Structure 1
């Protein structure tokens, strides 16, 4: 008997030997997923296929068969029941009458029955058929019926057939497919999997024109997460047969696993071109709805599919997963039972449910589902790999390693499990720094200078965040400090909705170090504490709600916990969206995160969500947030959660928010009355030429709208409906007007608090006379009062005060500017310098520590931080910065000497300290 431990050792040795290849493969997969569409927008039919169809020596029926083989048939080619059945099967028209006819090939009829979930009928139909294709379908049917031993006998016979060693493409394909199916019901060696891949390769050499060969090879590869090789095989399939439903579906599934929803939609569209009621298109659309947080739509799609095909196993399994995402365990249990009645012993439904729950951070429930899938089909590696990644996201490293090892032993060719093992092995070598509530992991080396700064700051942050939400997560949170964007991208592979330099899975937060350099490698400078406040808020609110918090709200609360005030640019964006009717309603805001329609949608959703939280707390008190989160934990939907928390429905909440937001924008000085545009209209109204130009501009807009609407004739209503809303029409491009200084002065007499006029006069004044004299001061004060969210007056005052030597006044304005800054340490460093001159060492150190967080690898900043710490008597903090300097500048011997001297001072200080009672 083969020693399984030795088998695993051998497999891991192969993984280690091909480490560079493995990482390159995974990175290629990540790059492919992010930079290249998985689903082709159009397919060019292979010239070889065209040539084969047009060979002059073909007889009419041979040409018909060739056109069907390459997906180029027309109705005229379907002149027999057999040809009709084959074409119907290819496009999944599974209820076509030809597929019930005894004149159709038995294998085609059985395959249609099996795809419809009628496994018993398929198996019975194939009794007596000894063709390899019949045997493969029968074995598959028996596996669905839970008769794995019977299936195993058939598959082993096919795999070990004597003619496999010949260059017989059909026998080679059958043997490779048999191995692939055996992998779910018995353990296979690396040699077994390698042989299957080799057999597909030999089959391709023997029959280059058969689209089924690259299709089956591609499916084997992508099912083992080998996308760089599997995707080209599927594209080759489409070039040989653009009507290959299984190839389109496989690419759509890959897109969904990469959270590439546009490509998945494209695959669905292509399937519907083949068959308007394509079952595989429904499966893609339902899974896409599920992954984009719309389980109700997913259920509706599946209801329609199951009304037509009530036994389709993939649809029944997905339906159980949808119940899980709707946070309805009893419904999920019921749907799992319904699946079991039809497919006893199958792990598919539990595996599908487990993956969905893992993606939604329902770790305990997801673990139970995946463990049941493993119990049912212990040799199927996919649920084990999924469980391993669940443990990784949950911060359960030892269980992750053990589970991924088991998955790799079952299928050494599965790159995802192998890569997960490599990643966990790599992380296990990293240094760990513990604090009461956090475990910080960092790669040994230069990045340690960032991690060493964190413990005290994180513990202070912990108090702020947990107090705000009245909740403390169980156990420590792991912070992984990652060296660059490439490693970060690999670390979060398989996690949805990641768009920044950090990500939280709940118990684990991955953070990229702030560093300048190649933008492909680093994201630049940023205040890592602000980022971690945001991400740790996710950890707390996910824990508090059992991971059932709506996407918009978890982001809104995370933004609200950042100490940086709302920027002027954000205020302007919100004001524009409010004025143009483009703020998101409660039922629409989540789509801005998962399916943004414009580049502004996602930043607007972040900002608006935080704004709505501000309104919620201002009207109903700070404790309204924990109360609302409790309702989400109970599984209530948006409207009911608001109703039970604050006594209004979601729609009523939003209406109240809009009214409040309107007043907010006025207070910001971003909705002045009259607006500068209205004042400009008074100039246009007095000038005949400008009047004519304005009318022409209005007509041009109407003409453009009419042309656009004309193009929408025949399109679904929702395509054109938004343009019918006047608030969404493009603005009239009115002729420009010259606003003279006299006009500004005249208008200011009438409207002395109009912020646009004050800004215009102020900027013109400072352009002519840069010094901040009495007139400029009056204008600055007036503008700052009229538009308090614009930092421009602070910048002008700070520059003027510094030039005049008024440090105290400058510090007030620099502090306001520094609050808004999290990517540039300049303000913080200047404040530290000024506070030091005023002997305010506590404030100076607070500022320099912020500068250090933003640019932790800058030696001069570390030098300054160490100096201030020594002056303030904090020798331990000074030592931390000096130790960082020694790592940043290893060639500077003076750092070692200074560290030694500082250690002597620390030792002397401890001797002088009184003994503890």
Structure 2
């Protein structure tokens, strides 16, 4: 709230409230009501009421409460003034010293906070709140033994009696828990539960239902344990009582950061800063979020803002250090290290934050050193040990990971993230391992070993090619782990059971999901994923993990050796048309915080395109040259200045011009959308011009205003209903959009007919209109009228052969007609666009088989099996072709795999028995024959038993 608005509000409330107070309440009642307002977060109302009490007998208590009010809203000088105004009268007032300590701590005057807390304890030795403040500030400045002595007091207290007021009960719980952590108490789990259930929960369940600090304490403790959903519930419980509790907004922001929901981080931080514009905690949250987003300059900016308020904030100093290191300014980072050391030369917290940010940047050796230092300075930190363990997992050293994760669990068996990782390590120990010259491929024992074997073979086949491309020889094997489930994959990559991708690379470790259909698993072409991830391994190794994120992604996509998809071309063209290509310095944001559904996909697509542009403009060698300088810590701006002789802004302009040249042959309309306001003005000048109204309708539709678009399109048609393709196109597209929101079948049918009617009108005016013809073709296909769709599809093949949906539908129709000759080229035309569809290579294989081209059939079945290695149907067809080719041993191996995939299918047992018999392996054949007959007494394998 601005100062002027605050004062206007203050005078209004004075006018309204003062008479009522004077009429009905004593000073003590007025004070109690005002303090309740402070506690509930009604700071503006409380400020008014408290100022009215400053001249009376409640001056001291009112000043202290007013100081708290200012402290909570970030008006620290005003808080100091309010408290100083009653300093002489408050020498024996515990609350005055407590709030003076909190103010000093907020501003980084930790020694002042210690002194004030000691004064408070001198007045009341049993004040849990004062003692907790003292212990916490002693810890901050590195006086660990003194802090431990104070925390020990809580241990003795809890064993004998508990405070009966919520403030001291929650403080006692926090002090007791911290003592248990610092002493590595063997009963930490039970003590944690005791604090949660018998102290924090008791405070709000039995003592005061509106005591939100108890909910906050629960939330903070659960968040520390990575019980994030439960923590979020308690943060929201805080806000249900006090919507202006800054700490709860910040807590929700940290949860969002841990889940990579960066838009939500910003929203929660804004909520906090709207209440307290000087919240160091909110600014530190934003700095931490920007570090994870790889927006290091912004991270530094937020850290600097925090340090301007509290120059001694350990967290802010750690993130300032981290940002400077990420920007390769080690001299500046060292300044912040020295500042932190001046406060506490043994701060485990400082080094843990720096270590985590280094780990996030995959700077594993430096991160390891920092984590070990954090553990040295704070041996009781389970979090530092757990994070170091997860670093080793990402680094590929699971033995060291186990050591540190076990140590973390020994200290704190309440941490969900540690448990996830240990559970995964237990599974990984039992994984099958296949070591080749350059790879260590691991998977769950059983059928996935088939996938592992084919993966290892494929990876070895591309190893030399990829390493040569980037002029690098790797000095260790790459670990490839194939997971049966997304949960385990997510823990492997992030430490938490969620990640929305099929493959990931942390450097020397590649993780992928087993490409099996069913059970919620999505299909994908495993070789492409493995190739993509191995390019990451090589480019990360080439740069010591310092390559710009967009570049490693772009190079990985580029080397998948798949043509650019139609969908990506269409979306890239639309980005060009709307002048919406991401600037060089912002392209990473599409990976980290996509705002639109296709932003992430477009980040991959544009990154690949930018790599192509660099090679096209400056030669293939520019990539490796940039990688070498990245390894030495050159910034992105430096890379482009040296190798492209361009600033980032100049690169953006040059890339856009090149992109337009590249996209023009694709056939999309690259004409920028027209401005709505300009066309409205033109329509007013020429109200009878149907073409202007049609253009206005199109502009409104593209701006997202469908109602306005409909109005103007109908107005255009009222003037000229013939040869008005644009107006009909607008209405066709508007009603096509409405179809997604139809409320019932009747409305859907009506709108569908409207779409078709306008599409037909468009084709009358413009027979070569691709979108209208596609609409009609899709309509007939949806109605199962292939005969009606066929002429439109054939026209589309002539008009616009690059759209893969057209050859796909033609291939399907021709196949259903038994016309293999015409189906085959159509299947091949759409195969690369639908590279994750196993049915397309299988259909091509079947055509070759029917034509007697067995070698070609064999090749295409193998391609289908790359997408679904365990498909019974495709595997059987493949094995049958192998038998026809006389490759009996290969066929037997496939039949045996089919018997493992589905041991209850008699057909597989029969085929295997007959193949074995043909190969002269009679004893094995008999065993399979017996199983076949047991499953199907009529099995052809029965003859082998007779």
TM-score (norm: length of structure 2): 0.77
Q: Secondary structure at the match of 1:587?
A: helix
Q: CA deviation at 1:356?
A: 0.8
In structure 1, the partner of 2:114 is 123
Q: Secondary structure at the match of 1:441?
A: strand
In structure 1, the partner of 2:845 is 832
In structure 1, the partner of 2:39 is 69
**CA–CA distance in structure 1, aligned partners of residues 391 and 695 of structure 2:** 58
Contact 1:391-1:397 within 8 A present in 2 as well = yes
Q: Does 1:533 align with 2:539?
A: no
Contact 1:393-1:506 within 8 A present in 2 as well = yes
Q: Does 1:454 align with 2:455?
A: yes
Contact 2:578-2:672 within 8 A present in 1 as well = no
Q: 1:486 to 1:303 in 2, by over 3 A?
A: closer
Q: Deviation string for 1:535-563 (max 9, x for gaps)?
A: 22222222222222222222222221223
User: Which of the two has greater helix per residue?
Assistant: 2
Q: Does 1:85 align with 2:67?
A: yes
* 1:153 corresponds to which of 146, 149, 154: 149
Q: 1:100 to 1:857 in 2, by over 3 A?
A: farther
Q: 1:439 to 1:93 in 2, by over 3 A?
A: farther
**CA–CA distance in structure 1, aligned partners of residues 873 and 537 of structure 2:** 35
**CA–CA distance in structure 2, aligned partners of residues 849 and 704 of structure 1:** 45
Q: Secondary structure at the match of 1:453?
A: helix
Pairing 1:472-551 to 2, within 5 Å after superposition: 472-494=473-495, 498-517=499-518, 522-551=520-549
Contact 1:538-1:558 within 8 A present in 2 as well = yes
Q: 1:534 to 1:704 in 2, by over 3 A?
A: closer
In structure 2, the partner of 1:628 is 626
Q: Secondary structure at the match of 1:126?
A: helix
**CA–CA distance in structure 1, aligned partners of residues 200 and 171 of structure 2:** 9
Contact 1:146-1:345 within 8 A present in 2 as well = yes
In structure 1, the partner of 2:715 is none
Q: Does 1:820 align with 2:804?
A: no
Q: 1:406 to 1:873 in 2, by over 3 A?
A: farther
Q: CA deviation at 1:792?
A: 6.1
Q: CA deviation at 1:377?
A: 0.8
Contact 2:173-2:199 within 8 A present in 1 as well = yes
In structure 2, the partner of 1:199 is 199
Q: Deviation string for 1:199-244 (max 9, x for gaps)?
A: 3333444423322222222212211222233332222222233232
Q: 1:126 to 1:276 in 2, by over 3 A?
A: closer
How many matched pairs?
811
Q: Secondary structure at the match of 1:598?
A: coil
Q: 1:758 to 1:615 in 2, by over 3 A?
A: farther
Mean alpha-carbon deviation: is it higher for 582-591 or for 378-387? 582-591
**CA–CA distance in structure 1, aligned partners of residues 475 and 812 of structure 2:** 49
Q: 1:879 to 1:112 in 2, by over 3 A?
A: farther
Q: CA deviation at 1:183?
A: 4.6
Contact 2:811-2:826 within 8 A present in 1 as well = yes
Q: 1:737 to 1:853 in 2, by over 3 A?
A: closer
Q: CA deviation at 1:370?
A: 0.7
Q: CA deviation at 1:262?
A: 2.0
Pairing 1:66-465 to 2, within 5 Å after superposition: 66-73=36-43, 74=45, 75-79=47-51, 80-95=62-77, 96=79, 97-100=81-84, 102=87, 103=90, 105-128=96-119, 129=121, 130=125, 131-161=127-157, 164-166=160-162, 168-169=164-165, 172-183=169-180, 185-190=182-187, 191-197=190-196, 198-208=198-208, 209-465=210-466
**CA–CA distance in structure 1, aligned partners of residues 872 and 437 of structure 2:** 30
In structure 1, the partner of 2:579 is 581
Pairing 1:447-846 to 2, within 5 Å after superposition: 447-494=448-495, 498-517=499-518, 522-671=520-669, 691-692=689-690, 694-695=692-693, 698=696, 783=799, 787=800, 789-791=802-804, 794-795=807-808, 811-836=824-849, 840-846=853-859
Q: CA deviation at 1:297?
A: 1.1
Contact 1:110-1:137 within 8 A present in 2 as well = yes
Q: Secondary structure at the match of 2:182?
A: coil
Q: Deviation string for 1:367-413 (max 9, x for gaps)?
A: 11111111111111111111111111222111111100111111122
Contact 1:440-1:451 within 8 A present in 2 as well = yes
**CA–CA distance in structure 1, aligned partners of residues 242 and 641 of structure 2:** 54
Q: 1:797 to 1:768 in 2, by over 3 A?
A: closer
Q: CA deviation at 1:874?
A: 5.4
Mean alpha-carbon deviation: is it higher for 362-371 or for 638-647? 638-647
Contact 2:664-2:670 within 8 A present in 1 as well = yes
Q: CA deviation at 1:645?
A: 2.3
Q: Deviation string for 1:759-801 (max 9, x for gaps)?
A: 999999999998999x999x78864xxx563346755875798
Q: Deviation string for 1:344-364 (max 9, x for gaps)?
A: 211122111111111121111
Q: 1:533 to 1:875 in 2, by over 3 A?
A: farther
In structure 2, the partner of 1:38 is none
Pairing 1:885-896 to 2, within 5 Å after superposition: 885-892=898-905, 895=908
**CA–CA distance in structure 2, aligned partners of residues 573 and 247 of structure 1:** 40
Q: CA deviation at 1:156?
A: 0.6
* Unpaired runs of at least 5, structure 2: 1-20, 52-61, 674-678, 707-726, 733-757, 922-946
Contact 2:389-2:401 within 8 A present in 1 as well = yes
**CA–CA distance in structure 1, aligned partners of residues 438 and 469 of structure 2:** 17
* 1:866 corresponds to which of 876, 879, 893: 879
**CA–CA distance in structure 1, aligned partners of residues 898 and 646 of structure 2:** 57
**CA–CA distance in structure 1, aligned partners of residues 854 and 290 of structure 2:** 55
Q: Relative CO higher for 1 or 2, CA cutoff 8 Å, sep ≥ 6?
A: 1
**CA–CA distance in structure 2, aligned partners of residues 300 and 634 of structure 1:** 25
Q: 1:435 to 1:696 in 2, by over 3 A?
A: closer
Contact 1:336-1:350 within 8 A present in 2 as well = no
Contact 2:760-2:772 within 8 A present in 1 as well = no
**CA–CA distance in structure 2, aligned partners of residues 242 and 150 of structure 1:** 37
Q: 1:604 to 1:673 in 2, by over 3 A?
A: closer
Contact 1:92-1:278 within 8 A present in 2 as well = yes
**CA–CA distance in structure 2, aligned partners of residues 580 and 65 of structure 1:** 55
Q: CA deviation at 1:150?
A: 1.2
**CA–CA distance in structure 1, aligned partners of residues 101 and 771 of structure 2:** 75
Mean alpha-carbon deviation: is it higher for 467-476 or for 410-419? 467-476
Q: CA deviation at 1:873?
A: 5.9
Mean alpha-carbon deviation: is it higher for 535-544 or for 363-372? 535-544
Contact 2:811-2:824 within 8 A present in 1 as well = yes
Q: 1:232 to 1:496 in 2, by over 3 A?
A: closer
Q: Secondary structure at the match of 1:509?
A: strand
Q: 1:568 to 1:705 in 2, by over 3 A?
A: closer
Q: Secondary structure at the match of 2:689?
A: helix
* Unpaired runs of at least 5, structure 1: 1-52, 676-680, 709-729, 749-753, 909-917
**CA–CA distance in structure 2, aligned partners of residues 177 and 731 of structure 1:** 69
Mean alpha-carbon deviation: is it higher for 691-700 or for 58-67? 691-700
Contact 1:479-1:508 within 8 A present in 2 as well = yes
Q: Secondary structure at the match of 2:560?
A: coil
**CA–CA distance in structure 2, aligned partners of residues 229 and 241 of structure 1:** 19
Q: Secondary structure at the match of 1:868?
A: helix
